[in-house]
Amino acid sequence: MTKLLISSLLFATSLFTTTDAKAEGRLTIYCTVQNNVCEDMTKQFSQKYNVDAQFIHGGTGTILGKLKAESSNPQADIWYGGTIEPHFQAGDLGLLEAYRSPLQAEILPQFKSLVESEPGKFTSIAYMLVLGLGINTEKLAKLGIEAPQKWEDLLDPRLKSEVQIPDPRSSGTTYTFITTLSTLWGEDKTFDYLKKLDNNISQYVKSTLVTSNLSRGESAVTVGFVHGYATEKEKGAPVEAIIPEGKVGYALGGVSIIKNARNLDNAKLFMDWVLSKEAQEIPWKKHGVYQTPTNVNAEVAPQSIKADTLEFVEIDYKKAGSSEEGKRLIDKWLAEIKLAK
């Protein structure tokens, strides 16, 4: 876990350089985007609004766990990033503060009805991600295995101990993977698949480690959001992304204010800012990080997948976003896959 405390020196400097300061005080952000993006977004918000902000990084499942554990004494004000279903589950559990940002009006048209639905009272959409496979081309060549093109190809016995996927207890990615396959195939076939896939998995770790392990050639194939592989490739890793045949899985990045936030006004200000065109362009313009912006006015990176170019699976958000369903699916994965050796 990384924690950035904006230094008092920086804070003092921002007092002199900020001309449009609208708020003062503090803000603590639970952050589930890439660590360097969390760091910069926190810093830029701090400087722009004259707020002493800090962030704590964690996977979607990890942060949902924190929200549950801290419900009587919240340790953060806002949760930025992470797949949206666990945000909806937090809302379902009464762990979020209602806030409809005026910036919800700038959402891409295909997500408008979701934003306008009940969970949109608590959670807004800050970006979109596309689910796929990451491959290490050098490792696959060494193994003499052709690149997988469909989900079933991951069951190839030659990939034994060569596949890694994130642990769904800490990661929203694998929850998206499970709900995507369940939507495509039904739950029984999905768990049968996950059981067979387990034979080829070397380890279940957090999503950031899954990606870096792929780049280092510790695994040959991973499941993840494809923008991450584009960044690794630009950094020089022998990594490619593959979007499996058929309807495509995806996730929306959520942003929600935490119930009983101590710094509610600053949390609202941060929410408005991360939904803005300006903030949504920061990850790709400054950091080579290519999640797709969901503000209709934001410029999309040439490397990003445009939200209207693929045929996506239709996720039942009511079901996948209910806390009961989230718990049931992860408990089932734990009992039937992880612990059932």
Given its phi and psi angles, is residue 292 left (phi above 0), alpha (psi -120 to 50 degrees) or beta? beta
- Output the smallest distance, CB 27 to ligand PLP, in A: 20
Report the residue number, 164 or 207, with the smaller CB distance to ligand PLP: 207
Among 6, 29, 31, 33, binds ligand PLP (CB under 6 A): 33
Piece in contact with ligand PLP (CB under 6 A), picked from 136-144, 147-155, 195-203, 222-230: 222-230
- Output the smallest distance, CB 7 to ligand PLP, in A: 26
Counting residues that bind ligand PLP (by CB under 6 A) gives 20
Report the residue number, 132 or 228, with the smaller CB distance to ligand PLP: 228
- Output the smallest distance, CB 19 to ligand PLP, in A: 31
| Binding residues for ligand PLP restricted to 45-74, rule: CB under 6 A | 59-60
Asked if residue 32 binds ligand PLP (CB under 6 A), the reply is yes
Report the residue number, 60 or 294, with the smaller CB distance to ligand PLP: 60
Number of Cβ within 10 Å of residue 66's Cβ equals 19
Q: Which helix (H) or strand (E) holds 137?
A: helix 137-143
| CB neighbour class for 177 (10 Å; exposed up to 12, middle 13-18, buried from 19) | buried
| Tokens found for residue 297 | 């006015």
Number of Cβ within 10 Å of residue 235's Cβ equals 10
Asked if residue 134 binds ligand PLP (CB under 6 A), the reply is no
Piece in contact with ligand PLP (CB under 6 A), picked from 113-121, 186-194, 223-231, 267-275: 223-231
Is residue 47 within 8 Å of residue 17, measured between CB atoms? yes
Number of Cβ within 10 Å of residue 281's Cβ equals 17
| Tokens found for residue 246 | 């058929």
| Tokens found for residue 202 | 């070397």
Classified as helix, coil or strand, 252 is strand
Report the residue number, 230 or 269, with the smaller CB distance to ligand PLP: 230
Is residue 172 within 8 Å of residue 59, measured between CB atoms? yes
- Output the smallest distance, CB 15 to ligand PLP, in A: 31
Q: With CA atoms as reference, report the closest residue to 119 among 278, 261, 315, 279.
A: 315
- Output the smallest distance, CB 139 to ligand PLP, in A: 20
Piece in contact with ligand PLP (CB under 6 A), picked from 144-152, 164-172, 184-192, 298-306: 164-172
